[in-house]
Amino acid sequence: MKKRMKFSIILLAAGTGKRSGLNYNKIFYKIHGKSLLDYSLDYFINCEDCVEIILVVNKSDESLVKKMYSSMVGKIVLGGLTRQESVQQALKHVKEEYVLVHDSARPFINGRCVDDLLGALVDYDAATLGMQLKDSICKTDGNRLEKTLNRSDYMLIQTPQAFKKSLLIEVHRLAKKDGFTGTDDTSLVKQYSDQPIKIVKGDVRMHKFTTLSDLDYLKVIL
Ligand code: CTP
Ligand code: MG
Is pLDDT larger for residue 4 or for residue 121? 121
Q: Is the pLDDT of residue 105 over 80?
A: yes
Q: Is the pLDDT of residue 19 over 70?
A: yes
Closest protein CA for atom 7 of ligand 1 = 14
Residue 1 is assigned to a structural domain of this protein = no
Query: In this predicted structure, what is the pLDDT of residue 3?
Result: 64
Residue 106: pLDDT band (50, 70, 90) is very high
Task: Count how many domains the chain has.
Answer: 1
Residue 167 is assigned to a structural domain of this protein = yes
Closest protein CA for atom 8 of ligand 1 = 82
Cα(197) to ligand 2 centroid in Å equals 23
Residue 88 is assigned to a structural domain of this protein = yes
Domain of 37?
Answer: 7-128+158-221
Mean confidence (pLDDT) of the chain:
97
Count of CB atoms within 10 A of residue 43's CB? Answer: 20
User: Could you report the per-residue pLDDT of 125-169, keeping only the tens digit for each?
Assistant: 999 999 999 999 999 999 999 999 999 999 999 999 999 999 999
Q: Is the pLDDT of residue 4 over 80?
A: no
User: Could you report the per-residue pLDDT of 160-201, keeping only the tens digit for each?
Assistant: 999 999 999 999 999 999 999 999 999 999 999 999 999 999
Residue 58 CA: which ligand 1 atom is closest?
3
Count of CB atoms within 10 A of residue 19's CB? Answer: 13
The pTM of the full predicted model, rounded to 2 decimals, is 0.97
Q: Is the pLDDT of residue 1 over 60?
A: no
Residue 15 is assigned to a structural domain of this protein = yes
Q: CATH no. for residue 104?
A: 3.90.550.10
Across residues 56-76, what is the average pLDDT?
A: 96
Q: What DSSP string describes the chain? A: ------EEEEEE-----GGGT-SS-GGG-EETTEEHHHHHHHHHHT-TTEEEEEEEE-GGGHHHHHHHHTTT-SEEEE--SSHHHHHHHHHTT--SSEEEEEETT-----HHHHHHHHHHTTT-SEEEEEEE--S--EEESSSSEEEE--GGG-EEEEEEEEEEHHHHHHHHHHHHHHT---SSHHHHHHHH-----EEEE--TTS----STHHHHHHHHH-
Ligand 1 residue neighbourhood (C-beta within 6 Å): 12-19, 27, 56, 79-83, 86, 103-105, 208, 210
